[in-house]
Structure 1
Amino acid sequence: MQHLIIGILFLVIGTSFSFANAKVISSVKPIGFITEAITAGVVDTDILLPDGASPHTYFLKPSDLAKLKSAELVIWVGEDMETFMPTVLKNVDKQKQIELMAVPEINALLQISNEKHEDLQDNHSDSHHGEYDEHIWLSPAIAKIIAKIIHDRLIILYPDKKTLIDQNLNEFTLKLVETEQNIAKKLISVQNKGYFVFHDAYGYFESQFGLKNLGSFTINPAVQPGVQKIYAIQQELIERKAVCVFREPQFSPAMIEKLVSGTNVRIGELNPLGTGVIPAKDAYSQFLLTLTQQLLDCLDNN
C-alpha cells in the first residue's frame, strides 16, 4: 500500500512538473489543439489562457511569465488578438516564437475583419480588432498551415523525433479533411437560414461552409442595453428574417431574452474558443464539430 501511495505521489508531482516546464506553449486554446496534435508523444505542451478568459483582456500572471520564459517554443496569433504578448515576448528569442499572423502563407488567406456588418453602435466599438480577422483558428485551411509550421519548427528542435512528428502531421491533415467533409454535409440544410452574432469571430468558418451570417450586434456584456437599443435590434431581427441570434458564454441569458422578446427568433450559443473541449490529439476536429453542432441546435430546429 505504501509503495502504491508513493507511486501515485510521484505521478502527481511528475504531471504537475511537466506542465510547469512545458516546452511548447500556445496562447489560446484552439491553437493549443493544433499544437497538441503535432506534438503528441514528442514534447509536453501547455495553453496560456484558461477557459473563459478573453485574449483581448487577459492579464498575465507571474506563473504565465515563468512558463513563457522557460518554453522552447511559444505560438501565438498576433498583437491585435493577444494585446499582452508583444511586451512580454520582446525579451524572448525570435527563434523561440511563432507569430502566426506574420507568416506569409497565412497572411495570403486573411479576410478583412467584418466590422462592416450591421453594427447598431459606434463604429469604434470593437476597436481591439485590426484590419484583418484574427480568428484564424476557425479556418481549416489556415489550421493545416499552422500544423505544418509547428511540424517544421519541431523537426529543428527535436530532429531525433522526425518520424513521429511527420506521422502526427499526416494524421492531423487526414483527420481534418474527413472532418471538413463531415461538417459540409451537416451544414447543407441550414445554409439559407440567417442569423446574427454578438462577436464577429466566425468569418473563415462561414465562408468555407456557406453560412448566412446577417450581421453582428455590439453590446457590452456588463451594461444593460437601453430601450432604444433593444427596439433597434428587435426591428433588425424581424426585417432581416433572422432565424437565430447566437450569444456567447459571457452574456446573461436574461439580456438576450429581452432582445428577442416579441420576435420568433431563437437563441443559440456559440463558443469560438473551445471552452470545455479537452486538449488531445483529435481536439481540433472535436472543436469544429462542437461548433457545427451548436449552429445546428439553433438553426436546424424545424
Structure 2
Amino acid sequence: MLLIPLLNGCAGKTESNKLQVVASIEPLAWFTERIGGDRVSVSVMVPSGGNPHTYEPTPKQMAQVSHAALFVKAGSGVEFELDWMQRLIDLNKSMAVCNASEGVALLPMGETEQDAAVEPADQHQHGHLDPHFWLSPKNARLIAKNVERSLVAIDPDGKAYYAANRTAVDQELQQLDEQIRKQLAGLQNRSFLVFHPAWGYFAHDYGLTQIAAEEEGKTLTPRQMERVIEEARREGIKAVFVSPEFSTAQANAIAQDIGGATVTVDPLARDYLQNLHQAAAAFARGMQ
C-alpha cells in the first residue's frame, strides 16, 4: 500500500480544513465517511448509476484528485481503476493510496463454492478474479481496517477518533452478517440468477449459488440466452436480479420466458448497511 505523508501547508485539505479524500466507488466512500467522520471530505469517481466498466472521470473530478490527500481504491480489478489509477497517481504524486482489498481473499469470477480456491488481493492477476469483494460483510470489516490505517498514516492526530469510528462500524458489520445469515438460513432453494455476476462473495458467505447470465457486461447471444433460460427453468428460478448500471432489456426477456420478474439489487449503492439489508431481503424473496 502506497502511503506518502502530506506536504507542508494546505495540501490535501479543503477550505473547512478537512482532509480531502477521493474514493473510486460509492461503497468505499461510505466506509471513508463513517471512519473519517468530520475530519474528512469525501468525493467519488464513479457516481451512483455510473458503470465502472466504462466510466471516465470529469475535469472537475480530476481537479479533486489533484488536491486530494488520499485515494481509496478497490484494488481488486475494477476496470475503472485498471484504466485510470496510474494516471490519477501521476496527477498527484503526494497523494496517499489506500488499497481497500488488502488482506482480502479474492474469488475466481463465477466461483461461489465454500471450498473455492482464493488468492490474497495483493498477489492476484487481474482479469480472472471477481472484483466485487465489498459485497461480503466479512470483507467489509477488512475494508474498514484498511481505511482506518490509511487515515491514521496521513493524519496521526486523529488516530483515537478513527479507531473509535472503525470499532463502531465493525460492530454494525458483525450484526449485519448475523442478521443476513439468519434471514437466508431457512431457504430450500439456494440458487439465484443474476444478469451481471456481482454477488459471488455474498453467495460464498451464505452458502448460496450465483448463476450469472453474462460476464464483463457483454450482450448475450441467442444461444446464451437459451442456455440461461433452460438453467433457470431447471432450477425453478423465477427472479432475475439486475444491477441498475446495466441495461435490463435481455434480463426482462429472460424473466418473461421463465414466467418471472426482474428485481434490482445494487452492488454500488453508497449506504452499505442499508443496501446489504435490502439486497438480502430481495434475495430471500426471490429464492422462495
> TM-score range with shorter-chain normalisation?
0.7 to 0.9
Structure 1: segments with no counterpart, 5+ residues: 1-16, 118-128, 278-282
Secondary structure of the corresponding residue to residue 285 of structure 1? helix
Among 139, 146, 156, the residue aligned to 1:149:
146
Match of 2:21 in 1: 24
Are 1:296 and 2:284 counterparts? yes
CA contact (8 A) 2:33 2:40 kept: no
Would the alpha carbon gap of residues 162 and 72 (structure 1) be closer, same or farther in structure 2, given more than 3 Å must change?
Answer: same
Return the alpha-carbon distance in structure 1 between the equivalents of residues 286 and 177 of structure 2.
20
DSSP-derived class of the 2:40 partner: coil
- CA gap of 1:139–1:227, structure 2 versus 1, over 3 A, is closer
Distance in 2 of aligned mates of 1:68 and 1:164: 25
2:137, 2:173 within 8 Å by CA — same for their partners in 1? yes
**Alpha-carbon offset, residue 42 of structure 1:** 1.9
Percent of residue pairs bearing the same amino acid type? 25
- Provide the rounded CA distance (Å) in 1 between the counterparts of 2:221 and 2:93: 49
Corresponding position of 2:106 = 110
1:218 to 214, 229, 233: 214
- State the 1:29 CA deviation: 0.5
CA distance in 2, matches of 1:268, 1:142: 25
Gap change, CA 1:95 and 1:142, over 3 Å in 2 = farther
Q: 1:78-99: CA deviations, max 9, x gaps?
A: 3731232222223433761123
* Corresponding residue of 1:267: 262
CA contact under 8 A between 1:198 and 1:247: conserved in structure 2? yes
Q: 1:294 to 1:144 in 2, by over 3 A?
A: same
Instruction: Give the paired residue count.
Output: 260
- Show CA shifts across 1:49-98 (max 9, x none): 21111111111111111111101000111373123222222343376112
Q: 1:155 to 1:80 in 2, by over 3 A?
A: closer
CA separation in 2, counterparts of 1:266 and 1:76? 34
SS in 2 for 1:170: helix
The structure number with the bigger radius of gyration is 1
CA RMSD of aligned residues (A): 2.9
Q: Deviations along 1:92-116, whole A, 9 cap, x unmatched?
A: 3376112334x3x22xx11112279
What's the counterpart of residue 243 of structure 2? Answer: 248
Q: Is the 1:151–1:166 contact (alpha carbons within 8 Å) kept by the matching residues of 2?
A: yes
Match of 1:11 in 2: none
Q: Choose which of 52, 55, 73 in structure 2 pairs with 1:55.
A: 52
Could you say which structure has the higher strand fraction? 2
How many angstroms apart in 2 are the aligned matches of 1:61 and 1:95? Answer: 19
Please give the residue correspondences for 1:107-146 in structure 2 after superposition, counting only pairs within 5 Å. Answer: 109-114=105-110, 130-146=127-143
Give the Cα–Cα distance (whole angstroms) in 1 for the partners of residues 112 and 203 of structure 2. 15
When normalised by structure 2's length, the TM-score is 0.79
CA distance in structure 1 between the aligned counterparts of 2:71 and 2:98, rounded to whole angstroms: 6
Q: Distance in 1 between matches of 2:165 and 2:50?
A: 29
Counterpart of 2:194 in structure 1 is: 197
Question: What is the aligned partner in structure 1 of residue 6 from structure 2?
Answer: none
**Other-structure match for 1:234:** 229
Q: 2:157 aligns with which of 157, 160, 171?
A: 160
Unmatched 5+ residue regions in structure 2? Answer: 1-13, 114-125
Which TM-score applies when normalising by structure 1?
A: 0.75
Query: Quick check: 2:238–2:255 contact (8 Å CA) kept in 1?
Result: no
Report the Cα distance in structure 2 between the residues aligned to 1:55 and 1:265, rounded to whole angstroms. Answer: 28
Instruction: Check conservation: 2:112, 2:201, Cα contact below 8 A.
Output: no
Q: Secondary structure at the match of 2:127?
A: coil
Is the partner of 1:55 in helix, strand or coil?
coil
Amino acid at match of 2:89: L
Instruction: Give the AA of the match of 1:240.
Output: E
Shift of 1:18: 6.0
Change (3 A) 1:146 1:18: farther
2-structure distance, mates of 1:131, 1:221: 15
Comparing 259-268 with 47-56, greater Cα deviation is found at: 259-268
Corresponding residue for residue 93 of structure 1: 93
Q: CA deviation at 1:156?
A: 2.6
Tell me, what secondary structure is at the counterpart of 2:131? Answer: coil
8 Å CA contact 2:229–2:254 kept in 1: the answer is yes
Letter of the 1:284 counterpart: Y
